[in-house]
Amino acid sequence: MSQELIRLTNLVMEFDGERVLDSINLYINDKEFLTLLGPSGCGKTTTLRVIGGFLTPTSGDVLFDGKRMNEVPAYKRKINTVFQRYALFPHLDVYDNIAFGLRIAKLDEKEIDERVTEMLEIVSLKGFENRKVTSLSGGQQQRVAIARALVNRPKVLLLDEPLGALDLRLRKDMQNELKRIQQAMGITFIYVTHDQEEALTMSDTIVVMDKGKIQQIGKPEDIYNEPKNAFVADFIGESNILDGVMLEDYKVKFFGRTFACVDKGFEKNEPVDVVIRPEDIDIVEADAGHLCGTVTSVTFKGVHYDTIVDFKGFKWLIQTTDFCPEGSYIGIRLNPEDIHIMHKSEYSGMFGDYSSYSAEYDEIADAEGSEDEA
């Protein structure tokens, strides 16, 4: 699990003088499920294409097993790709699409047949051998694309937003299926997505990217619980982000009050960003709370209510199962482990304020994210 397979060092990519990737440093272990996560234009697809051999980096190195691979063309790499819009060959049927790579490698037809049949079983497409790929549904095309890549037994499989074109239900099924296939085949998956939920569900390691830079690398839990800056905190889940001052270890001051927290290692009186996840906030009677505010809007979300509360003009999002009617005056309590402290960054002040809250916030974020990356 821990043997290093791919390493990117100081990777820089420029198109027409525009810096798309800015000193990317990353190593990927064997048999790891690694996800590059970020909004459109963050450089995640470019990173994937550099690993796949479709782009040569402007500077920096791509190493496989310690060997420099910068100039090795795609067709000489033991890597295969599942493309965003599948890129199935429309003139070939399902079987011939999957057999394509094996035929290029000039395997004998008997072995090709065995491997294709085996692959068809793995992706549950037995009986579809002679179907035209254009006659398949999106989910079926997706499976063919995966089979076509995996049948070559690559050491690494690259997946570029492979589930982006599927509807929600199918996407969930395919997430489980992909994870199952990855574990069954025991190979490295490098997965690109803008969908944080997908990333959290499937990955061993998540790489959060924005503006051509890596913002944070870590396990899904760590990324969610201990975001490094306001961008990560906002992009992964929902966050209330406040200005605060770290008085000393385990003591942070915001909204004119001092709170106990579990963070340390900051300078004395260092200005910081304070992250409070909306689901961690407990609503109590007004007089029993650390802070008191007025509910300005409530939206039913199924599992919980999205409740917006106005604290001295700063609006927080609270996700709670308790219904508090609009206009009611409530208090909240914060436990030390619910408060997460981050250093100030270029993203400070850009995220985490719900003053312009609308019930469609996540849909809007989705629509932006699903635009094709250049």
Partner 1 sequence: MRRINRIFTVIVFFFLYIPMIILAVASFNKGTDIAVFQGFTFNQYKELFRDSNLLRLLGNSLIIAVISSAVATVLGTVASVGIHSMRGRMRSAVMGLTNIPMTNPDIVTGVSLALLFAFVGVLLRINSVLGFWTLLIAHITFSLPYIILNVMPKLSQMDPDLKEAALDLGCTPVQAFFKVILHEIMPGIISGALMAFTMSLDDFVISYFVTGSGFVTLPVEIYSYTKKPIQPKVYAMFTLIFVTILLLMVAMNLLQARDTSKKLRRKEASR
Closest approach of partner 1 to the CB of residue 184, in Å: 21
Distance CA 321, CA 329 (A): 17
Closest approach of partner 1 to the CB of residue 1, in Å: 26
How far is the CA of 191 from the CAs of 112, 118, 171, 206, 285, in angstroms?
Answer: 27, 24, 14, 9, 46
Indicate left, alpha or beta for 16 from its phi (over 0: left) and psi (-120 to 50: alpha).
Answer: left
CB 245 within 8 A of CB 254: yes
Closest approach of partner 1 to the CB of residue 46, in Å: 14
> Which lies closer to partner 1 via its Cβ, residue 124 or residue 355?
124
The 10 Å CB-count burial string (b at 16+, else e) for 143-157 is bbbbbbbbbbebbbb
Which tokens go with 269?
Answer: 């009186």
> Which lies closer to partner 1 via its Cβ, residue 36 or residue 233?
36
User: Which positions lie near partner 1, rule CB under 8 A?
Assistant: 52-54, 73-75, 79-81, 83-91, 100-101, 104-105, 132, 135-137, 148-149, 152
Closest listed residue to residue 325, CA positions, set 311, 313, 307, 312: 307
CB 340 within 8 A of CB 300: no
> Which lies closer to partner 1 via its Cβ, residue 133 or residue 334?
133
Residue type, 174: M
Closest approach of partner 1 to the CB of residue 41, in Å: 18
Closest approach of partner 1 to the CB of residue 104, in Å: 4
CA gyration radius, the chain: 24
Strand order from edge to edge, sheet including 240-248 = 257-260, 251-254, 240-248, 270-276, 339-343
> Which lies closer to partner 1 via its Cβ, residue 126 or residue 333?
126
> Which lies closer to partner 1 via its Cβ, residue 158 or residue 252?
158
> Which lies closer to partner 1 via its Cβ, residue 47 or residue 240?
47
Closest approach of partner 1 to the CB of residue 108, in Å: 16
